[in-house]
Amino acid sequence: MNPRSTLGGGALIALALLLIGLTVLGNSTLRGWRLDLTHNHLYTTAPGTGRILAGIKEPINLYFFFSAKAAQQIPQLQTYGVRVREFLEELAARSNGKLHLHVIDPQPFSEDEDRASELGVRGAPLGASGGQFYFGLAATNSTDGHAAIEFFDPNKEQFLEYDVVKLVYELANPKKPVVAWLSSLPMGPGYDPQSGQTRPAWAVYSEAQQLFDLRPLDATAAKIDADVSVLVLVHPKSLSPATQFAIDQYALRGGHILVFVDPLAETDSSGADPQNPMARMTADKASHLEPLLRAWGVKFDPTQVVADRGHALSVTLRQDAEPVMHLGVLGLDKSSFTSDDVVTAGLSNVNVAMAGHLDPIKGSKVRFEPLLQSSTDAALLPVERFRVLMDPGTLRDGFKPTGTRYTLAARVTGDVPSAFPAGPPAGVTLPAGVAALKQSAKPLNLIVFADTDLLSDNLWVHAQNFFGQTMLQAWASNGDLVQNALDNLAGSADLISVRGRASYARPFERVAKLRHAADDRFHSKEQELEQQLRETEEKLTALQSAKGGSQSALILTPAQEQELEHFQAEKLRIRKELRAVRAGLDQEIASLGTRLKVLNIVVMPAVFALIALLLGVWRRRRQEKAV
Cα 414 to Cα 411, 493, 495, 573, distances in angstroms: 10, 11, 15, 67
> Is 217 in a helix, a strand, or coil?
coil
- Asked if pLDDT for residue 382 goes beyond 90, the answer is yes
pLDDT-derived band of residue 514, with 50, 70 and 90 as boundaries? low
CATH superfamily, with its number, for domain 47-171 = Glutaredoxin (3.40.30.10)
pLDDT-derived band of residue 544, with 50, 70 and 90 as boundaries? low
pLDDT-derived band of residue 1, with 50, 70 and 90 as boundaries? very low
User: For residue 371, what are the contacts with CB-CB under 8 A and spacing of at least 6?
Assistant: 337, 338, 341, 343, 344, 407, 408, 409, 410, 411, 447
Q: How far apart are CA 86 and CA 74, in angstroms?
A: 19
User: Pairing state of beta strands 256-260 and 228-234?
Assistant: parallel
Q: How far apart are CA 21 and CA 9, in angstroms?
A: 18
- Asked if pLDDT for residue 282 goes beyond 60, the answer is no
**Range from 118-127, 299-308, 477-486 carrying the lowest mean pLDDT:** 118-127
| Residue 267 and residue 453 in contact, taking contact as beta carbons nearer than 8 Å | yes
pLDDT-derived band of residue 40, with 50, 70 and 90 as boundaries? low
List pLDDT tens digits, range 107-129: 888 899 899 999 999 988 876 66
Q: How many residues does the chain have?
A: 627
User: For residue 142, what are the contacts with CB-CB under 8 A and spacing of at least 6?
Assistant: 58, 59, 60
Q: What is the mean pLDDT of residues 428-455?
A: 93
Cβ-based burial of 309 (10 A; exposed 0-12, middle 13-18, buried ≥19): middle
Q: What is the mean pLDDT of residues 191-197?
A: 68
Listed ranges 280-289, 459-468, 486-495, 530-539; the one with the highest mean pLDDT: 486-495
> Is 63 in a helix, a strand, or coil?
strand
pLDDT value at position 101?
95
List pLDDT tens digits, range 143-180: 888 899 999 988 888 888 889 998 999 899 888 899 99
First-residue to last-residue Cα distance in the chain: 27
pTM, two decimal places: 0.70
pLDDT value at position 415?
96
In CATH terms, the fold of domain 178-424+436-490 is: Rossmann fold (3.40.50)
pLDDT value at position 46?
78
Query: Across-strand partners of 64?
Result: 103, 137
Q: How far apart are CA 588 and CA 591, in angstroms?
A: 5
Q: What is the mean pLDDT of residues 203-209?
A: 93
| Residue 499 and residue 160 in contact, taking contact as beta carbons nearer than 8 Å | no
Q: How far apart are CA 478 and CA 487, in angstroms?
A: 14
User: Which residue would you say has higher pLDDT here, 586 or 181?
Assistant: 181
Cα 538 to Cα 541, 542, 545, distances in angstroms: 5, 6, 10
Cα 581 to Cα 187, 307, 516, 520, 571, distances in angstroms: 63, 48, 12, 10, 15
| Residue 201 and residue 188 in contact, taking contact as beta carbons nearer than 8 Å | yes
Helices 47-54 + 160-172 axis angle, to 10: 20
Where is 153: in which H helix or E strand?
none
| Residue 453 CB neighbour total at 10 angstroms | 24
Listed ranges 109-118, 261-270, 399-408; the one with the highest mean pLDDT: 399-408
Listed ranges 69-73, 92-96, 185-189, 416-420; the one with the highest mean pLDDT: 416-420
**Range from 56-65, 374-383, 481-490, 605-614 carrying the lowest mean pLDDT:** 605-614
pLDDT value at position 202?
95
User: Which residue would you say has higher pLDDT here, 602 or 115?
Assistant: 115
- Asked if pLDDT for residue 530 goes beyond 80, the answer is no
User: In terms of Cα–Cα distance, which of 313, 200, 179, 195 is closest to 255?
Assistant: 179
Where is 231: in which H helix or E strand?
strand 228-234
Give the whole-number percent of the chain exceeding pLDDT 70. Answer: 75
Q: What is the mean pLDDT of residues 555-573?
A: 68
| Residue 496 CB neighbour total at 10 angstroms | 20
Hey, where are the domains in the chain?
47-171, 178-424+436-490, 509-543+559-626
CA 83 to chain CA centroid, Å, is 19
